[in-house]
Amino acid sequence: MLRRLFVAIHRWFGLGAAAFLFVSGLTGAIISWDHEIDAWLNPELHVARTQGPALPALELARRVEAADPRVRVTYMPLATEPGEAFGVFVEPRVDAATGKPHDVDYNQVAVDPATGAIQGRRFWGAVSLARQDLLPFLYRLHYSMHLPAIGAYDTGMLLMGIIAIAWVFDTLIALWISFPNMSAWRRSFAFRWRSGGHRFVFDLHRSGGVWLFLLVLMIAVTSVSMNLEQQVMRPVVSLFSPLAPSPYALPEGASAPASGDPAISTTQAIAVAREEAVRRGLHAPAGGLLYSSLTGRYGVGFFEPGHDHGDGGLGNPWIYLDASTGIVAQAVVPGEGSAGDIFMQAMFPLHSGRILGFGGRVLMSLMGLAVATFSVTGVLLWARKRKARLHARAQARVPRGGPATA
């Protein structure tokens, strides 16, 4: 009885989530290489047009804001690799006349680091299949399906997060029903390569899931964290281990971005963060600066140029400080903190495969294809069984003597 219930749950979850997991799996396989593919498609956003020594990062950011006073730089690298464009993210400033953000049709800018000339702009995450927008489109499709927001709710992230929660439980159920007879457990690991057809499809779905169970479960769990960190993952983890406050959590009562410039300049923020990094024994250079108008904080990341994603290990250390006072608010250093803090630090590196560097990214690309394959084979198995059931019912309605003749 319990097995029949679990089989039904697995079947109906698979059918309901197949399209979402198929798209998420395929896009995940691609966006493991988002920077490389995007640079190939859009060299104007990634490759510097001219050779020569780079201007200071803060000067380049100042020129971006001077070129369009409607925007504020929210993230910049503090150094770039030779030949790379200087890429920043921006947000619209609040229009003093209307009290609302300016209407700006871009949020990413590429600058020639040697001259300060703007090479290109785009709106990262736009619903567009144009060459310039393709990789950001696929990236956002991966975790939100580009569903529209309703008020303050990102419905796409919420939906994919709920699917991820169900996927965690379904992965456990799938493992349980994959072993109907423990005396013949080897069959659940076997692939009938030579049989082809239905048997091979069945083995791809069942045996493939058994072999990759731990990796699929890891992807499902980290997907919950990627989409519902504040709503689900942190509250659950905090039941087992204390957690430091999230540096991205909004302060009490915050609902709109700050309208003016922060009291502490970017130069001061970097200086304070560097002092704190020395005190903590961090040896990497200051590699990136972000400013959040919602939280009223600066963040300074410490890494070598080109390693902003933190390839290998748990990522890069970041120091956050209050943009009004310059006081260090929090430091997130990989490997430091409670067991829960380290668990949360591991979520993105595990999900992206970057915890293992280049090899991990290859593995996650293959796992994305595997997730898409499980979705397709599950639907094929259901369709075949449904066809057989409909045929059996039709046969049962035919009189034993055969169909009546006139």
Whole-angstrom Cα distance, residue 262 to residue 336?
A: 29
Tokens 């599950």 belong to 378
Whole-angstrom Cα distance, residue 243 to residue 239?
A: 9
| Per-residue confidence (pLDDT) for residue 248, from 0 to 100 | 83
Nearest to 171 by CA among 222, 226, 209, 228: 209
| Per-residue confidence (pLDDT) for residue 406, from 0 to 100 | 42
Ranges of residues in the chain whose predicted pLDDT is under 70: 251-259, 400-406
* Burial of 129 from C-beta contacts in 10 A (0-12 / 13-18 / 19+): exposed
Whole-angstrom Cα distance, residue 290 to residue 292?
A: 7
Whole-angstrom Cα distance, residue 256 to residue 248?
A: 14
Q: Where are the alpha helices (DSSP H) in 148-256?
A: 155-177, 197-211, 213-228, 234-238
Tokens 């399209």 belong to 19
| Per-residue confidence (pLDDT) for residue 402, from 0 to 100 | 57
- Partner residues linked to 84 by β-bridges: 47
Whole-angstrom Cα distance, residue 28 to residue 60?
A: 33
Whole-angstrom Cα distance, residue 247 to residue 328?
A: 11
Helix/strand/coil for 121: strand
Neighbours of 84 (CB within 10 A): 18
